[in-house]
Amino acid sequence: MAGVSRCMKYSMFIFNFFFWVCGVLILGISVWIRVSEAAQEEVDIDHSLFLGADLLIAVGAIIMVLGFLGCCGAIKESRCMLLLFFIGLLLILLLQVTGGILGAMYKPQVETSLNKTLLQTVHLLQNSTKEAEAFQEKFHEFEKRHKCCGVLIGPADWGQNFNKPVGNSKACACEIENPPADLCITNVDRSIYKMPCREVVMEYINGHLLIIIGIAFGLVIIEILGLGFSMSLFCQIKRK
């Protein structure tokens, strides 16, 4: 033990144990987002919405592995494990910073890509194939649940299918008695929901994006501390 600070050694172990716990929490939250009922509804509209959750699942698994390496490296005073931990943590930190910069730079392109995906959904609403009809029934349930109409602009997204019965009612039908003016509007022969469903999708994305950003910022602080701990202990073991 000469030359190696017991305080540093066990501080590194405790830190990495909590780092491992963070990995478990990230993995658990990501899986919950991935399989939640709300997420299953959103993916019927845009299959790209799970990419963020899938990325966090991978990050959570990697953090669990790195936390294990850090714990073992600290207890066994293994320079090899500590070096692997440092390199892995540094790579994750660099990827996070790069991803944040690219995300900020290409945000308009991401929104354009989302609009293109939603435009494909509009085409399904206007078609009459069996696949389209099955989708229309699911989307009609989505409209009723979230009190919205159409995808991008409203009832026009349904095209000629707007007056066609879907399930037990017609598209966009507002089934609320005496609804407020900002919720439903009158369209020829019936009351329909006013808000396009794109707003619901964007609210879902932005809400979960805040979770992802919060986790990412929290990880940056933890990762910087981990880099400092691991390199300090590595140097002490080297001088031992």
Which DSSP string corresponds to 35-92?
HSHHHHHHHTT-GGGGHHHHHHHHHHHHHHHHHHHHHHHHHHT-HHHHHHHHHHHHHH
Mean predicted confidence (pLDDT) in 114-137: 85
Taking only the tens place, the pLDDT of each residue in 126-169 is: 998 888 888 888 888 888 888 999 988 889 999 989 988 887 78
Alpha carbon distances (Å) from 226 to 13, 155, 214: 10, 53, 18
Q: Cα 195 from chain centroid?
A: 24
Give me the torsion for CA of 77, 81, 87, 93, rounded to 10°: -80
Q: Where are the domains of the chain?
A: 6-108+206-239, 128-199
pLDDT value, residue 31: 80
Is the overall model pTM greater than 0.75, yes or no? Answer: no
The token duo for 128 is 């009459």
pLDDT tens digit sequence for 173-206: 888 888 888 899 988 778 999 999 888 888 877 7
CA-to-CA distance for 21 and 46, rounded, in angstroms? 32
Cα–Cα distances (Å) from 167 to 129, 136, 170, in that order, read 16, 9, 7
